[in-house]
Amino acid sequence: MNPSEPRPVPTDEALRAHPTASARTAGVPTANEPAANVSTAGAAAANAPTAGARPPIRPRAPRLGFDGVRRHWLAGSRAATQLANGVNLLFPAGERFFIRSVRSYLDRVSPDLAAQVKGFFGQEGRHAQAHERLFDTLREQGFDIDSLLERYEHLAYDRIEEASPRPLRLAVTVALEHFTAILAEDALTGGVLVHADPEIRRLLEWHAVEELEHKAVAFDVLQEVAPSYALRVAGMALATLTLGGFWLWATRELLAQDGSSLLEARRELAELRERAVREGESRVMEPVGKRVFLRGIREYLRPGFHPMDRDHSALIAATLARLEAEGVVVADKSEEAPS
């Protein structure tokens, strides 16, 4: 399958006018409707299926093309767009770091978990490739992302990763996967993507679904090879510092290239939230610090925490049904085997 091949349905013009038109016609939940409940079972960790009992993790090849993406593709807002571009820039190198961290323990995990790990590698590898295709759009829009990427990758991976012991790299990966799962749940339930360019919405929805599918893999590897609470906490501390720091830095750089600043962006985001409240939007996004970091840390530090505490299966199924209806992914489960 050629990912850049045009899909038969629907036209971009129709979707730009009505971002969820195809989902409506397909009769599946749309991006601005609560697609499904996310249930939180207090004792779910104890009852969560083991790796062998979970559905297989399969990478998909989405059909995506980013021609015609506007410079301010999220809500027409410079601040919201650069905040999203900022974290998107971190993904590809970050995902390759996740793969390296987990791969270094592959020979020590149980066979059932190893099968899940291979699916995780396939999904993360494809996420990295898809986000890198979006980078070309940013370059065409005039952003100098290459020097930014070079500085980020040098500091994060040549320096910090190199200086970190192997168990800490895995623990950082596990904590970052928890943050990623929160971002994914947010993207699919928070309503913000209804304001996004339709093709980027599809990219982020596909990515979010697969993040939720493999959210427990790295955690289970850590539990099998180094089940230490102190190590888990250390991983969370470094993950918070690095994700928070690099995200803020990348956003500031992009805003500067776009003629703005963090201070101005903060004002713009506050205005967007006020407008959403005035217009009666049912879900108004809280600031990232609270919505992602505080929540993530609070959940993760609970000694009995497990990623499967929150049941995302209905959300995954409903979102996949929408993406299949839009022709972004195919339902055929016999796609290429995990790489």
Provide the binding-site residues for Fe ion, judged by CB under 5 A. Answer: 95, 124, 127, 180, 211
The answer to whether the CB of 184 falls within 8 A of the CB of 208 is: yes
DSSP state of 53: G
Residues 6+ positions from 320 with CB-CB distance below 8 Å: 209, 329, 331
How far apart are CB 207 and Fe ion at their closest, in Å?
A: 6
Cβ-based nearer residue to Fe ion, 24 or 295: 295
How far apart are CB 181 and Fe ion at their closest, in Å?
A: 8
DSSP state of 259: T
How far apart are CB 189 and Fe ion at their closest, in Å?
A: 18
Alpha carbon separation from 190 to 9, 187, 277 (Å, rounded): 25, 6, 14
Cβ-based nearer residue to Fe ion, 77 or 123: 123
Alpha carbon separation from 268 to 82, 87, 193, 232 (Å, rounded): 12, 18, 18, 36
Cβ-based nearer residue to Fe ion, 211 or 258: 211
**3 state DSSP class of 311:** strand
How far apart are CB 120 and Fe ion at their closest, in Å?
A: 7
Cβ-based nearer residue to Fe ion, 32 or 180: 180
Cβ-based nearer residue to Fe ion, 92 or 198: 92
Q: Which residue has the tokens 């209905």?
A: 314
Cβ-based nearer residue to Fe ion, 124 or 161: 124
How far apart are CB 95 and Fe ion at their closest, in Å?
A: 5
How far apart are CB 91 and Fe ion at their closest, in Å?
A: 6
What single string gives the DSSP state of each residue in 187-249? HHHSSGGGGB-HHHHHHHHHHHHHHHHTTTHHHHHHHHH---HHHHHHHHHHHHHHHHHHHHH
